[in-house]
Structure 1
Amino acid sequence: MHAPERAIPAPAGAREESLRFLLQTAADSGVSMIATRPDGDGERWLGQAWPFPSPFQVSVCTVPVGDGVDRVEARARRSLERLGLPRGDALLISNAADLAGTEGRALWDRLLALKDRGLYRRIGFCATVEDGPALLARRFQPDVVQLKCNVLDQRAQHSGVLSELASLDVAIHASSVFADGWLFMSGEALPPEMHRHAPTLSRIRRRLAEARVDPMQATLAYALGLPEVSAVVASVASAAELRAVVAAAHAPTPALDWAALQLEPATAAGAGSLRGRISSAA
């Protein structure tokens, strides 16, 4: 996932060249999927910078359903125009709560119609553990669920959500794999709501240092090692960041006690214990 908001400000020409270099680096590195968001100009910038022929499958997110399902459908079509693509790989409802609302069924029917017309090959939704993704999957039968899951928050694995989604033949894309970068921050840099976790994060960083494992390597190894997960989504702002991610992803899988690296115990009974604490994509 391209994160232009984190890129170093640059004139338009330099920005476009930087994005072309990022995409070419991704193609050369074997990255096969680009996840996009409908906010800002990110889609348009990507549409102007694809390598030709493009080797990527593109995942598109919807706008919120608050303005109506007509707006969602129109914007999903517009996303393809901005990206310069005749069709996309996946169209994902950006917030699973939209499916749980009064317009949930009508919204899903619109996505089904776009899929039937061949504009998107697969449809699904983005979710957290709190959204009850397995229950929603049983109701709507998506092709894809993008689920927030990382080494600090292992609830999706230990509560059985991943295995249940896999049993429904749903492709799982793991997002928020870097958990807002908390494992990379010192205690003083943590946001106020995370201060109580500073000692635990310090202990986890010490465990990794003793094992001579880089935090980025650990976070990616955990997500890539989940057998139910078919894709890992990581945001990058530059080719340099992408090269670092790819190098960490290709490093040998470390022999770590993954359960000992959780921020809090994750069990089926306590699956909601981190509500709202590890939810941002990073």
Structure 2
Amino acid sequence: MKLAIGSQLFGMDPDTRGDARISPQEVQAILAYARRAALDMVDTAPDYGRSEFVLGAEGGEALPRKIVTKTPVFHSDSIGYEDMLLLTTSFSRSLWRLRTSRIYGLVVQRGFDLMKPGAEAIYAQLKQWKAEGKVEKIGVFVRDAQELDALLSQYAFDIVQLPVNVLDQRMPDSGALRRLKLKGVEIHARSVFSDGLLLTKPEELPSRYASYRDHLEQYHGKLQDRRMQPVEAALLFIRSVPQIDYAIVEINSLAHLKEVHAAFAVRAGLDFPFRRFALNEELNLMDSM
């Protein structure tokens, strides 16, 4: 398993998520560190503000070899001409912003879009780009095992991105990850910190997360008993899931990347009772991607 750099915060407008925009110099430092640390994947999307543009402008030789971006979200009830125009325009713009002629992965940002009438045209276009060498692997983001099974009954993917974390262990528990590995699918874990929920002190939780406070107080209490840091524990759980190939973590500074990278390298024993803290429900988080 490897660590992948999530670049959502690289190009977001200030205060979009309560974070300041990361400066170009900081992005350069993050990517330079990633190269030295042999972190070979960066994850982005056309709707991550200026993220793709920033990566292309500031990455240079330090840009990770494996670039994964997304399709746009399709808001229509069925896939038609306008949606296909949106898809092709978005992909062309992504390549231009990233200053490259090919990328490692193109992921359908919302799996539900592939279940709409006419969606086979989206898949066919992705396959065409793969055949042309513009994309090495095509994939999809899914929210749960039911959505995944429905999609796998119609399509084949090289990459599947999905939510996995201490609070949401549905995917590993369902056997979906084992089934994917039997098919040779590359698995990317998203939401590994539950949008920061696992890292926030219970008394500092925003009001929208109030229903999780008691549960997280117990979790953090157990962490203190084991003398574990929240970042370390969250990544320790992800590393305990053998089918995961990449853990995508949204990075907001060089210091943050160094902290995450150091925690990811910790080889502590796996005797923490993670299963006890699984809520196994689709958490009402702001950042599902």
Q: Would the TM-score normalized by the shorter structure come out above 0.5?
A: yes
The C-alpha deviation readout for 1:88-109, integer Å capped at 9, x for no partner, is 0000000001011113211111
8 A Cα contact 1:217 1:249, kept in partner: yes
Give the match's secondary structure for 1:97: helix
Query: Which residue of 1 is the match for residue 32 of structure 2?
Result: 24
The C-alpha deviation readout for 1:53-97, integer Å capped at 9, x for no partner, is 644200011111235022112211220111011100000000001
8 A Cα contact 1:93 1:124, kept in partner: yes
One-letter amino acid of the structure 2 residue matched with residue 204 of structure 1: Y
Number of aligned residue pairs: 269
One-letter amino acid of the structure 2 residue matched with residue 58 of structure 1: I
Determine whether 1:256 maps to 2:272.
Answer: yes
8 A Cα contact 1:149 1:177, kept in partner: yes
8 A Cα contact 2:145 2:174, kept in partner: no
Counterpart-to-counterpart distance in 1, 2:183 and 2:286: 24
Segments of structure 1 that go 5 or more residues without pairing to the other structure are 267-273
Counterpart-to-counterpart distance in 2, 1:74 and 1:186: 43
The C-alpha deviation readout for 1:194-244, integer Å capped at 9, x for no partner, is 322211110011111101111111111111221111111000011111101
Counterpart-to-counterpart distance in 1, 2:134 and 2:69: 11
* TM superposition outliers: structure 1 runs of 4+ over 4 Å: none
Alignment of 1:1-12 (within 5 A): 1-2=6-7, 3-4=9-10, 5=12, 8-9=20-21
Counterpart-to-counterpart distance in 1, 2:92 and 2:237: 35
Query: Which residue of 2 is the match for residue 275 of structure 1?
Result: 282
Counterpart-to-counterpart distance in 2, 1:26 and 1:100: 37
Counterpart-to-counterpart distance in 2, 1:154 and 1:278: 15
Root mean square deviation of aligned Cα: 2.0
Determine whether 1:99 maps to 2:108.
Answer: no
Counterpart-to-counterpart distance in 2, 1:281 and 1:134: 19
Counterpart-to-counterpart distance in 2, 1:225 and 1:110: 36
8 A Cα contact 1:150 1:223, kept in partner: yes
Query: Which residue of 2 is the match for residue 197 of structure 1?
Result: 212
Determine whether 1:146 maps to 2:161.
Answer: yes
Determine whether 1:42 maps to 2:51.
Answer: yes
1:127 offset after TM fit, Å? Answer: 1.2
Calculate the TM-score normalised by the size of structure 2. 0.87
Segments of structure 2 that go 5 or more residues without pairing to the other structure are 1-5, 76-81
Query: Which residue of 2 is the match for residue 270 of structure 1?
Result: none
One-letter amino acid of the structure 1 residue matched with residue 130 of structure 2: K
8 A Cα contact 2:236 2:264, kept in partner: yes
